[in-house]
Amino acid sequence: MHLFSSASCGVIDSSSSRTKFFSQRKFAAALAGAAAGLLFLTAVASAADWPQFLGPTRNGVYAGAALATTWPKDGPPVVWQQKVGAGFSGPVVAGGRAILFHRVGNNAVVQAFDAGTGKAGWSFEYVTDYRDDFGFDPGPRSTPTVADGKVFTYGAEGMVHALDAATGKKLWSVSATEKFGSGKGFFGRVCSPLLEGNAVLLNVGGADGAGIVALDKDTGKLLWKASNEEAGYSSPSAATIGGKRHAFFFTRANLTSVDPQTGAVHFEFPWKPAISASVSAAVPLVIGDLVFVSASYQAGAVLLRIKPGGPEQVWSGDDILSNQYATCVQRDGFLYGIEGRVDHAPGGSLRCVELLTGKVRWSADSLGAPTVTLAGEQLLVLTDKGELLSAPATPTAFQPTARAQILPFTVRAHPAVADGLFYARSNNKLVCVDLRKTAAP
């Protein structure tokens, strides 16, 4: 797996008091915009739910009650665990159910469990013919989305399904391969569905202008298509900026913004790998009127300010915060994420970077290929070896307050945090651990 070459731009001089003053003003405005843009989602998303990839607001943030910052000697209590099939698809939690998309034998399986007990509920399965050309995991890559009483999935072989969230009954299905000419790519189809109004948005990399498609959530009927670009391995995000709704897609060649209701392209910002055999998987992270995009393979990171005339580059550079797989989180003007290649030893570095300047505040090595989730004032870092760490989200230093082995090797999927419970999966196990303060010693 490989990626990108970087654009170059001078980093803002953080030593200049004038630059700092205006940066602080701009960041305050950005936070106000972010609060306004997420107000609706916050109002409808319960702290007891983590209904899609990266959580209710698709930014890796858990907004529920504060969690315990220290754990018992043997780690946080294990509420339940289940043996599961293959896949990189993460769990989601909604309506009292934990739902996992995995592969058992030659079947792709969408499985519901009781979120509190792990008791198996409904399941839906279909035959999949996906084979990984490099001998990697043959399971689904994309995390399900639960919305409007439905579960939406996108399999590695290209099948899109809508299921009834209460029963698992199939409502409709579409083959992105047959209908849109979606290509297999290097590592299968990867895009966690994004629901915007009545539209299910997907980056399928199809032919004849069907790089990005919108399907009717109730029927699966094509609403619109846009872009001629191949699909990347990133999932879309959405936000309202300057009164205009944007759905952001990180394709193989661009950061593309489209109107989620019509498919009209707002802009395309070139950001692509220098080599074709690459994986750009981090989700575009929106903070107010800013969008942060990053990738490994010498592509690096870029921060854009979205203006009426299009994106304006704030800073860019390689060797700052070039995420290969995991998506960053942001708190109080600082980004926390992974710099560098994680598929080669010794892995990537967990870093804290100033959002508006790109200045690295601290770096922690030897964590392999972790994911990062923000829960209030703390970071939850889950390594690919199954170790969970808790640490304050502060630009001062990375100082874990708790750590525990909760899963076996290998872990690549993003976790879910719902009602104080932490759900994560390895390549053969799904576990639920209790991080609530009441569970602490």
Containing H/E element for 29?
Answer: helix 17-44
The whole-number average pLDDT for the span 339-358 is 85
Does residue 42 register a pLDDT over 60? Answer: no
User: Could you give the residue ranges of the DSSP H alpha helices within 113-247?
Assistant: 176-180
Q: Tokens at residue 5, please? A: 């070459």
User: What is the pLDDT confidence band of residue 238, given thresholds at 50, 70 and 90?
Assistant: very high
* Residue 351 placed within a domain: yes
For the cut 60, the answer to whether the pLDDT of residue 5 exceeds it is no
- How does strand 120-127 pair with strand 159-164? unpaired
CA distance 19 to 16: 5
Residue type, 315: W
The conformational region for residue 34 under phi > 0 = left, psi -120 to 50 = alpha, else beta, is: alpha
Give which of 105, 143, 102, 97 is closest to 121, Cα–Cα: 97
- Predicted pLDDT at 344: 67
pLDDT band at 341 (very low <50, low <70, confident <90, very high): confident
Domain annotation covers residue 8: no
Average the pLDDT over 116-144 and give the result.
96
Strand 61-62 with 371-375, pairing: parallel
Name residue, tokens 């979205």: 306
Under the banding of pLDDT at 50, 70 and 90, the label for residue 439 is low
**What pLDDT shows up at residue 270?**
92
Q: What confidence tier does 13 reach under pLDDT thresholds 50, 70, 90?
A: very low
Identify the pLDDT of residue 226. 98
Token pair 């010498």 is found at 298
Whole-model pTM: value is 0.89
5 within some domain: no
Q: Is 18 exposed, middle or buried (0-12, 13-18, 19+ CB in 10 A)?
A: exposed
Q: Does the structure show a pLDDT above 90 at 390?
A: yes
pLDDT single digits (tens) 169-216? 999 999 999 999 999 988 899 999 999 999 999 999 999 999 999 999
Q: What is the CATH number of the domain that holds 204?
A: 2.130.10.10
In a domain, 292, yes or no: yes
Angstrom distance (rounded) from CA 176 to CA 155: 10
Widest Cα–Cα separation across the chain: 61
In a domain, 184, yes or no: yes
Is 306 inside a domain boundary? yes
- Number of structural domains in the chain: 1
Instruction: Quote the mean pLDDT of the chain.
Output: 89
Q: What are 273-328's pLDDT values in tens digits?
A: 777 777 889 999 999 999 999 987 777 899 999 999 999 999 999 889 988 889 99
Look up the domain containing 409 and give its range: 17-439
314: in domain: yes
What is the layout of strands, in order, in the sheet containing 378-382?
61-62, 371-375, 378-382, 387-392, 402-405
Q: Using an 8 Å Cβ cutoff, are 246 and 239 in contact?
A: yes
The answer to whether residue 9 sits within a structural domain is no
CA distance 83 to 81: 7
The pLDDT-based confidence of 38 (bands split at 50, 70, 90) is: very low
pLDDT of 46 reads 57
Alpha-carbon gap, residue 202 to 162, rounded angstroms: 13
Supply the pLDDT for residue 433: 98
Residues contacting residue 12 through CB under 8 Å, at least 6 positions apart:
19, 23, 314, 315, 356, 357, 358
